[in-house]
Amino acid sequence: MPSSPQVEALGPLESTATPSSLRQDIVAKAFEAIRSPALAVMLFGSYARGTANSSSDIDVLSLVPRGPRSYSVGSVNVTAYLPAHIERLAQQGSLFILHLLREGIVLSDRHGILSDRLAKYRQPPSYDPLRREILAAASALDAPTDEAVAYGHQLRRLGLFLLRTAVYASAQESRLTTFDIDVIAHHVAPPPVRDILSTPP
């Protein structure tokens, strides 16, 4: 039985390959938010991309050996994954993995566990299967009035997630290399859709 990857306690001084433009207070907040031992930590989203503003959250991926769960600590959103899950998403050509590869900043990955899993990424031959999944999931948005009232916030978030996913797929087909939703929307979405995409999740 293969041994489990070594789990390290992480701290700001263990950051690696951090661009000089990345504020060290952001790195410190990212590490302070990690609540359980992690195999690797990566910054992604607007702070990694360099487009953050005063209202931006700090998005952090935590690679964990067991019991993954997502949580927020102040302005830091931590999304936890198992190595096997990241590898599976990479092999499936996940847009999230492509986002991490293009714009993520590794803060700690001493044993290369995250890098090895991300390297398994394979570009899908087509995003048509993803679009079919989006359409199937979108049927949940056609809820009866009482359910729409009771679960309006959750339905709105689902709708925005599905719309953004579809737009991200179109952006890749248009060979856009950014995951900045405002830039993508300007290139591939009509004005009414741009307004929707600009709203917070």
- Per residue in 114-168, pLDDT (tens digit) is 999 999 999 999 999 999 999 999 988 888 888 878 888 888 889 989 999 999 9
Residue 74: what residue type? G
Mean pLDDT estimate for the chain: 85
Q: In what order do the strands lie in the sheet with 40-44?
A: 71-73, 76-81, 58-63, 40-44, 105-108
User: Per-residue pLDDT tens for 47-79?
Assistant: 998 888 888 899 999 999 998 999 999 999 999
- Domains of the chain, start order: 12-118 (3.30.460.10), 128-197 (no CATH)
Neighbours of 159 (CB within 10 A): 15
**Helix (H/G/I), strand (E/B), else coil: 142:** coil
**Residues 5, 7, 13, 18, CA torsion sign:** positive
Of the pLDDT bands very low, low, confident and very high (cuts 50, 70, 90), residue 5 is: very low
Assess contact for 10 and 40: CB atoms under 8 A: no
* pLDDT band at residue 170 under the 50/70/90 scheme: very high
